[in-house]
Amino acid sequence: FKEAFGLFDRVGDSMIGYNQVADVMRALGQNPQNKEVAAILGKPSPDDMANKRLAFADFMPMMEKVDKIVKGTLDDYVEGLRVFDKEGNGTVSGAELRIVLGTLGEKMSEAEIDSLLIGQEDENGSINYEGKSCSTSKEQIPWILHRSRHRLF
């Protein structure tokens, strides 16, 4: 972890900026919401986010807190996708989901969205999130669990 932490040190003082904490956590395999990181940092002001720095020794306990945050269940994500299921048939429009992921909440880049949805859309551009009559089954939904937990729901 220390080596990855060090890659984000732009000043050479073995510290990172408050505004980099979430990025470092994500680089280390966590996926915290920005509001969760802000709470762990003590709800810093925008000025503090831009100027305060954090040492590795102070970062690790924060990483442990993020690791303990309860993640959503598969059913939570299925319920979240159901909001976009206009036909009520267990599918969502891949195009609509791309727009949502790219514009709402913590926006994803096109490359992130492509990576997330690769192989999930059928020939009609739909994504079957309930596994009713398509090759994409409910067990294959983990593609959305880790990558977009904080973006959609």
Distance (Å, whole) CA 89 – CA 94? 14
135 to 113, 117, 120, 126, 129: CA distances (angstroms):
20, 14, 9, 11, 10
**Residue 9 and residue 58 share a domain:** yes
Measured from the Cβ of residue 56, the count of other Cβ atoms closer than 10 Å reads: 16
Are 116 and 50 in the same domain? no
**Do 100 and 121 sit in the same domain of this protein?**
yes
pTM of the model: 0.52
Same domain, 38 and 96: no
Structure tokens at 56: 């590795």
Q: What is the CATH number of the domain that holds 117?
A: 1.10.238.10
- Distance in angstroms (rounded) separating the CA atoms of residues 105 and 85: 19
pLDDT reading at 116 higher than 50: yes
Summarize pLDDT for 59-92 with one digit per residue, the tens.
999 999 988 876 666 777 777 788 888 888 888 9
- Read off the pLDDT of residues 2-40 as tens digits, 9 standing for 90 and up: 998 999 999 999 999 999 999 999 888 888 888 899 999
80 and 145 part of one domain: yes
Q: Are residues 57 and 107 in the same domain?
A: no
Same domain? For 28 and 62 the reply is yes
No. of helices (H) and no. of strands (E), the chain: 9, 4
**Average pLDDT of span 42-53:** 96
